[in-house]
Amino acid sequence: MATQPSDYTEFPPEIILKPLALVGLSGLDAINNAVHKEIWDAFSNNRRADRTPVRFKLLNNTFEFPVVKPKRNSYEWYIPKGILKKNWIHKRVTLIPAVVVIFYDMDWNDPQWNEKIIECASKVQSIRAAVEGHATRVAVVVIQSRLSPPPSEYMLGAERAQALCAACEIQSKSLFVLPHSDHLMGYIVRLENAFYDIAQNYYHHETKNVKQHRDHLNKTTHQYLFVRHQFKLGYLNELKQDMSTAHKHYMHAYNNLLETRTVDTNIHEVRTVAGYINYKLCKLLFALNLPRDAIAQLKSHVERYKNRIGSTELLFEHYAWIARQYSAFGELFDEAIRAGLPGIQSQHPGFYYQHAAQFTVKRRQAMRSVCNEALQYPPPPDPMDGIVEFYGQRPWRPGRLSADPHDPQKEQAAILALQYNERIFNHSAMIISFLGCAISQFKTFHSPRMRKQLVVEMANEYYYSADYGKALTLLTHMLWDYRREKWWFLASHVLNRALQCAYLSAKIQDYLQLSIEALSKHIQVPNNDKDRIFRNIMSVLNMNIPGPEPDLPAASQGKALELWQFAIEKEPLNIVLDMVNITSFMEVKPKFKQQKYRMDEIIEIEVYVRLTYAAHLEVKKSHLTISSHTEAIEIPIIDNANSFTLEGGKVKRFLCQFKCNPQDSGSDLHIKNVSFILDSDRRRKIIMNFKMDDNKTSESTIHPELLHFIISPKADFEFDCIVPLTVASIISRECKLSFSVSNASPALQGEWFPTQFSITNNEASTIYDMKIVLSLLGSPDNPNPESVTELSFTEGEPQAQPLKLVVANIDPSASYTNQFYLKTNRTATTTIQIKVSYVINLPEISKLECIKDFTTKITVIKPFEVSTNFVSMNFKPITKCFVDDPFVVMPQIKILSPWDLLIVDTDLEVLECFTFSDDAKPPSCISNLEVSEKNIASDAICIQAKFKPKDNPTRVGLYNITWRRKSNLRGHCVMSSTALSGLPIDECPIAVEVNYPEVIEQLTSVPLKCSLIGKSTTPVRLSLSVEGTDAYMFSGYKKIMVTIPPKDKLELCYNIHPLVAGNTTPPRLKATVVGDSSMQEVISEMFDKKFPQNIFVMPKYNK
């Protein structure tokens, strides 16, 4: 990873590289040949993890394979010079391909087939010759550009392929055909897999080779070879992508290495190789998804090598090595997490980076203790010159295994060289880099506090490397969090370091802010010397250079002084400090004396200031910032004079008074800020702002009730118990107007109801610009009143709501009277709001606007209720009517109004299926009728049905009543309409008319004419009979069959002669329909209705 710092302990790239089978591609001219280039690109580009684990190398004609070492037959006299050769891996991954693939352009039906096959075979031969000695496999790919050959040439292809195999001396499964067509990528992927198979086969063969050596080895002299061979097996298996076998062999290698005897001369080599093998082991364990085993492996690895320190003169190398083990593991862990391994708070890469940083710190300590004498690089010859064949060996004694130093002088020079290099090494940069990695990990894994601690360590490291600006930035950020959580001890630690940084970098703003915070009672400063810090603040204020902080690095002091000399006279001259965010030596509590102020009151704010640091602090100027919705104003805090002195440990109380702005009525005032300005007339000012946050005060953890237990001096105004009050609302001043209403409530539904109101000015002076606004207020039982209710100042003319009225001025104790009208269709209580606003000039405030709301409630009731009766012409109630048969509608008006009413007129609007029985519309029977409560006025209108509509009408018509209050003589009349209930209409094929008198005299004959009128288009045949009674004699047909012609009438004449006086039943005609019996029922009904049940017979007096 690029983020990892580099030094000599860094792992070589070939160790870190993921082993992939190497496949050499020969015969591709990727520069000049477009087809070849396309093929090469398809192989080499876009090699993602999901593709075959193969690395391709383009072999040009001049490529040379490494020379094969002669096979050793016996290891008896062989003593290895080191553990792992540096170039072995390199050879495996770049120089010795597992497979060499020869590409050749040739079609099966090529005209020059014979020449081509010879050329191809020679190419194969030359490659064979080049790889001589290696077991590298050879394969041939024939690139065919033509389209697939016709079926007739299949045989030809097979033959020629066989011929080619024979010519090239390759097996037929090592010959491939690559048609260059649309599906190149698909062919490439299949070729890749084929090559990979061959490669695996090759590596398998190689591992067998290595295993063969093992039998020749013995433990006494060949311990290194045990390690080397197992490492090689591990690596070859990795190339083969056989992870678990690879892990097994690496583990053997690791254990064999542990068994080697370590002395000062080989310790560096042993632990270097151990580190590499451990890295491979951990990487494989992560790849095998065994993270716990990986962690355990690292822990035991570090544990095993922790005490193999080697030469104490090179102790730093040991720590550097441990740091590298940790950081490399951190990287592996991080990669695994990115590949999907879940990390947890207690186990993530951050810890390993942190360890790496810690061991780098130890490395620096070791360097400080052992490298003091290494002041300069040893004179030539440079002991570091020299080529090392094995990992971890010293250039000045390569390949030497004996424990005693071979050349003591050279050894000394070499150690000096190493020490010198270590001395000039930038440890801080490395520690900072490790910490940076750790910080980001701790941040990811929910450990904000651990992260903070590491950031502070990082800042310390910047401090040691004299990068004070960066250190200061980090520290000031961290200070914030420690302050917030009240870890004052840690905050003090951070703050003191930050103060040193601010001093050393001469940053006036930060220096003052930190100094002021250092004076807080919570912060501990070195030697408890707060006076020094206070003096420093005053020095800066007076444009003098402050005294240095204690324990500064001597090297930086001179530079700091220069910086101060340069900076002290310059900007920033006005230093603004936000005091709320820091803990400081001043506490401020502003407080409105009341929560609400009326417009005409003077607003008073008390400001309590406590200086906790024991000194006298002279404040030149001080002010409060108050904001309202319109503006922000500054109110000076004054104590006799503009400037005042605060005394340490005491509380001072200030009272600020001001008048509010007339526009602020109804809004809130906020104390936004309290500022104290320190100034010594030397151009520099320190402005201390205490910003008041409305939210902050509410969450304060002050428990005033508990604070009373604490003995605090009364002179403190019990400062701790004061709860700041930073918001006060401004309410309009009390309004001295009176209001009265007179009306004849309740109002009646639908009428224009007049209400008289009067407003009297009880103020001491004239009021101006009085405006009245009338509006309707909704209520639960009367929502949206404006939709059904009209308001107006003139009767009968609705006006837009709300009604506005401008009244000019009203003198003191005068009054203003007006009247408004209300008309509503809803019987509920209507609420009317009357908003009066005006301007008044008061002695304190001129042009003060006052507003007052009045409300009045008006109950609305129904004036009357209308019900309907239907009766026949003889005033008998009916439930249905017949077409062309007149009947009487009787609307009854029940008066509910408590007020006497005058019914001016009534009117019935009938539906189209009805008509008035009279020729003209009759005048109302109850016009100009005076009624009072509980009276019932009955009307009667004679109508008849014209035809039978499809559906029975739901109502007969609309009944309109025009009325007004009796008391209201000239006012508008109100017209109320009511729908009258419906009556079913029926049809009868005949109509009957009989002229029965109501009253007849005894013993007097009365002629009765009975007309039967045909209504239908067909004749109706009836059998009539007379139902006689004892009370009458009669003459005429008692029983007769008649046929009633259509649209014509038939008359029957009878005489009746009453015999007895009193209520009698006259003879009645009964009809029976002959034929169509469906009409029987209607006709019987009709006859029943027409012939009276009763006739009153007057007795006859004999005079």
Instruction: Give the phi and the psi of residue 4 in degrees, each rounded to 5.
Output: -80, 135
C-beta of 19: minimal distance to other proteins in Å? 34
C-beta of 704: minimal distance to other proteins in Å? 11
Coil, strand, or helix at residue 426?
coil
C-beta of 448: minimal distance to other proteins in Å? 6
C-beta of 503: minimal distance to other proteins in Å? 20
Of the pair 230, 447, the CB lying nearest other proteins is at 447
C-beta of 484: minimal distance to other proteins in Å? 9
C-beta of 262: minimal distance to other proteins in Å? 24
Of the pair 446, 934, the CB lying nearest other proteins is at 446
Contacts 24+ apart (CB under 8 A), 758-761: 758/815, 758/816, 758/817, 758/818, 759/810, 759/815, 759/816, 759/817, 759/836, 760/813, 760/814, 760/815, 760/816, 761/736, 761/737, 761/810, 761/811, 761/812, 761/813, 761/814, 761/815, 761/816
Query: How many angstroms separate the CA atoms of 767 and 773, rounded?
Result: 17
- How many CB atoms sit inside 10 A of residue 721's CB? 17
Closest CA to 530 of 510, 543, 516: 516
Query: How many angstroms separate the CA atoms of 365 and 597, rounded?
Result: 69
Residues 111-150 that bind other proteins (CB under 8 A): none
The residue within the footprint of other proteins, chosen from 458, 490, 674, 1073 (CB under 8 A), is 490
Of the pair 160, 301, the CB lying nearest other proteins is at 301
Closest CA to 308 of 290, 325, 293: 325
Of the pair 709, 1101, the CB lying nearest other proteins is at 709
Of the pair 347, 1084, the CB lying nearest other proteins is at 347
Our CA dihedral for 239, 242, 248, 251, rounded to 10 degrees, sits at 40
Residue 77 is a binding residue for other proteins (CB under 8 A): no
Task: Give the pairing type, strands 137-144 and 99-105.
Answer: parallel
Of the pair 443, 736, the CB lying nearest other proteins is at 443
C-beta of 579: minimal distance to other proteins in Å? 20
Of the pair 487, 899, the CB lying nearest other proteins is at 487
Of the pair 443, 559, the CB lying nearest other proteins is at 443
Residue 493 is a binding residue for other proteins (CB under 8 A): yes
Q: Are the beta carbons of 428 and 437 closer than 8 angstroms?
A: no
Closest CA to 231 of 212, 257, 209: 257
C-beta of 487: minimal distance to other proteins in Å? 6
Give the amino acid at 789.
T
Of the pair 113, 487, the CB lying nearest other proteins is at 487
C-beta of 485: minimal distance to other proteins in Å? 5
Residues 6+ apart with CB under 8 A from 899: 744, 748, 933, 965, 966, 967
Query: How many angstroms separate the CA atoms of 398 and 572, rounded?
Result: 62
Of the pair 211, 484, the CB lying nearest other proteins is at 484
Of the pair 11, 487, the CB lying nearest other proteins is at 487
Q: Tell me the two tokens of residue 52.
A: 């075959």
Query: How many angstroms separate the CA atoms of 168 and 113, rounded?
Result: 14
Of the pair 484, 1038, the CB lying nearest other proteins is at 484
Residue 489 is a binding residue for other proteins (CB under 8 A): yes
C-beta of 472: minimal distance to other proteins in Å? 20
C-beta of 44: minimal distance to other proteins in Å? 46
Query: How many angstroms separate the CA atoms of 324 and 339, rounded?
Result: 22
C-beta of 706: minimal distance to other proteins in Å? 6
Residues 357-376 that bind other proteins (CB under 8 A): none
Query: How many angstroms separate the CA atoms of 79 and 838, rounded?
Result: 114
C-beta of 340: minimal distance to other proteins in Å? 21
Of the pair 137, 364, the CB lying nearest other proteins is at 364
Closest CA to 1094 of 1068, 1056, 1075, 1055: 1068
Of the pair 490, 669, the CB lying nearest other proteins is at 490
Residues 429-488 that bind other proteins (CB under 8 A): 446-450, 453, 485-487
C-beta of 737: minimal distance to other proteins in Å? 52
DSSP-derived letter for residue 662 is G
The residue within the footprint of other proteins, chosen from 46, 338, 555, 709 (CB under 8 A), is 709
C-beta of 354: minimal distance to other proteins in Å? 10
Of the pair 345, 794, the CB lying nearest other proteins is at 345
Residue 527 is a binding residue for other proteins (CB under 8 A): no
Closest CA to 537 of 471, 615, 466, 430: 615
For residue 1086, give Cα distances in angstroms to 821, 961, 989. Answer: 55, 34, 10
Q: Tell me the two tokens of residue 330.
A: 């951190």
Query: How many angstroms separate the CA atoms of 964 and 972, rounded?
Result: 7
Please count the residues of this chain forming the interface with other proteins, following the rule CB under 8 A: 20
Closest CA to 454 of 400, 494, 395, 502: 494
3-class SS letters over 671-692: EEEEEEEEECCCCCEEEEEEEC
C-beta of 710: minimal distance to other proteins in Å? 7
Of the pair 333, 864, the CB lying nearest other proteins is at 333
Residues 295-354 that bind other proteins (CB under 8 A): 345-346
Give residue 798's Cα distance to chain centre: 50
Query: How many angstroms separate the CA atoms of 1067 and 1092, rounded?
Result: 9
Of the pair 485, 1048, the CB lying nearest other proteins is at 485
Give residue 797's Cα distance to chain centre: 54
Give the amino acid at 908.
L
Residue 388 is a binding residue for other proteins (CB under 8 A): no
C-beta of 584: minimal distance to other proteins in Å? 18
Coil, strand, or helix at residue 863?
coil
* Stretch 932-951: interaction string toward other proteins, x if CB under 8 A: --------------------
* Stretch 688-707: interaction string toward other proteins, x if CB under 8 A: -------------x-x--xx
The residue within the footprint of other proteins, chosen from 31, 710, 920, 999 (CB under 8 A), is 710
- How many CB atoms sit inside 10 A of residue 1018's CB? 12
Element containing residue 503 per DSSP (H, E): helix 488-504
Of the pair 365, 758, the CB lying nearest other proteins is at 365
C-beta of 837: minimal distance to other proteins in Å? 50
DSSP characters for 810-822?
Answer: B-TT-EEEEEEEE
Query: How many angstroms separate the CA atoms of 141 and 346, rounded?
Result: 54
Binding residues vs other proteins (CB under 8 A): 345-346, 446-450, 453, 485-487, 489-490, 493, 701, 703, 706-707, 709-710
